[in-house]
Amino acid sequence: MGEATLTFAVTDDDTALAVGSGSLPVLGTPRLLAWCEAATCAALEPDLGAGETSVGTRVDLEHLAATAVGGRLVVTARQVYADGRLRRFAVSAREAGPDGTPGRLVGSGEVTRVVVDAERFLARLG
């Protein structure tokens, strides 16, 4: 089962104020979710066939602690369930220590993705 870990630095563009989810200059929950989804995509990528991609279908995310601009997060996605095209991932985001090791838990949850044929998926939109 797939797993991926990505590291992100919080910038002014990632704040709740910048993404429209609040008025404070701290990491916005929509950006945290985007980073968690990026980790699930990275975890799933090696298992995709030619022409395949995945789409997110369900999210359950707890944003547990604030992160200031300049902070760094280590985001991990680990596949915990697979059934046909459906994939479910446990996700976590932790503050990155000075040496890059994960520290305090900032967010955790679950992201569900479905593997699709990219061309067929897009053709249904037209």
Residues 7-32 have pLDDT tens digits of 999 999 999 999 999 999 999 999 99
Average pLDDT of span 59-73: 97
The DSSP secondary structure of 20-63, one letter per residue, reads: TS-SSSBB-HHHHHHHHHHHHHHHHGGG--TTEEEEEEEEEEEE
Q: What is the pLDDT of residue 102?
A: 80
Question: What's 58's domain CATH number?
Answer: 3.10.129.10
User: Could you give the number of structural domains in the chain?
Assistant: 1
pTM reported for the whole predicted model: 0.95
Residue 79 lies in domain: 3-123
